[in-house]
Amino acid sequence: MRNKIFAGVAAGAIAAVGVAIPANAISDTTADLYVLHAVPGLTVDVYVNGELTLDDFEPGDLAGPLDLPADTYTVAITASDAADDSEPAIGPIDLTLEANTSYTAVAHLDESGDPTASLFTNDLSTVAAGEGRLTVRHTAAAPAVDVLANDAVAFDNLSNPDEVKADLAVGTISAAVALTGTTDPVIGPADVEIAEGVNTIVYAWGSAADDNLTLAVQTIDGLHSNPGGVDAGTAGLAADNNNGILVAGLGGLAALLALAGFAATRLSAARAAK
């Protein structure tokens, strides 16, 4: 088990040398795990199966993806100066990761302001060409909220720790979060870009009581699909001359004749055998 997770963690580290997050490394045997720190004012260490995996992890930081073999992992989050994971501030919690699936584990506050952790599954199913996906997750110490897009309610009554999502045409939306039933934003408005083939995951985090509600954004690309085709002419002026059709027709005729000849030969051979 120990070797398995280390090999997985190492592979994740190798795969993610670039600045951009690779689309995803999931496979029939592995899962992707991202970790988001959304507890204000608390630098932490993250232990996976008793091993220190994220040292001095700062609020607002996003780590990953770790390409991990499908399995159940025990995650404990401690203060950053802890000697081990024996006195976690959050957890330990068991995360069961299935193959071919992308997850984000979020350390955050629950509605009443206590630290907790939630495991979200990232929807990597393909989107139509020209569209992107918007996912909104409520991980803030705040009551239920409405999510406003371009001043209209896009998703209503979203509670901690739930999520909502939709596939949208590419473009920029002005996003804001208001307590359910109100229209005065507690977060935003902020411009969120819906990019093509990308799942843009927006987290509301922080605490309403402490007046530090804000947004975190995670993007996972590679969800695009292709156009259905290319129709680039309407007049026929560039058509091959019609000899093409004639040749094809003759070819077909020749093929038929050959078949007929072949059948005749078979027939006579069969007769001869009798």
Partner 1 sequence: MAPRILALAVMALLLAGCAAAPAESIAPVPAPLPTAEIDVPRQSSELAPVEQLAAPVRIQIPAVGVDISIAPVGIQPDGFMEIPENITVAGWYQYGSSPSSDTGSTVITAHVDDFVQGLGPFSRLASMPAQAEIIVTTDDGVDHRYQLESVQNIQKAQVPLDQVFDRDGAPRIVLLTCGGQFDENVRQYSDNVVAIANPL
Q: Which residues bind partner 1 (CB under 8 A)?
A: 2-3, 6-7, 9-14, 16-17, 19, 21, 23, 35-36, 45, 51-55, 57, 60-64, 66, 81-84, 128-130, 170, 190-193, 195-197, 203, 215-218, 224, 226-240, 242, 244-245
Closest to partner 1 by CB, 166 vs 170, is: 170
CB of 183 to partner 1, least distance (A): 21
Contact 93, 117 (CB under 8 A): yes
CB of 152 to partner 1, least distance (A): 20
**Distance (Å, rounded) from C-alpha 220 to C-alpha 200?**
7
Give the bridge partners for 105, in sequence order: 35, 119
What the block records as the tokens of 200 is 């843009």
CB of 264 to partner 1, least distance (A): 33
Contact 60, 79 (CB under 8 A): no
Residue showing tokens 């002419």: 233
CB of 1 to partner 1, least distance (A): 12
CB of 269 to partner 1, least distance (A): 38
Dihedral of CA 233/234/239/245: which sign? positive
**Distance (Å, rounded) from C-alpha 126 to C-alpha 162?**
22
CB of 41 to partner 1, least distance (A): 16
Closest to partner 1 by CB, 60 vs 143, is: 60
Closest to partner 1 by CB, 50 vs 157, is: 50
What the block records as the tokens of 191 is 């411009």
Closest to partner 1 by CB, 41 vs 227, is: 227
Contact 151, 178 (CB under 8 A): no
Closest to partner 1 by CB, 246 vs 260, is: 246
Closest to partner 1 by CB, 233 vs 270, is: 233
In whole angstroms, how far apart are CA 117 and each of 51, 58, 108, 209?
Answer: 18, 15, 6, 20
Cβ-based neighbours of 43, under 8 Å, separated by 6 or more: 56, 57, 58, 59, 79, 80
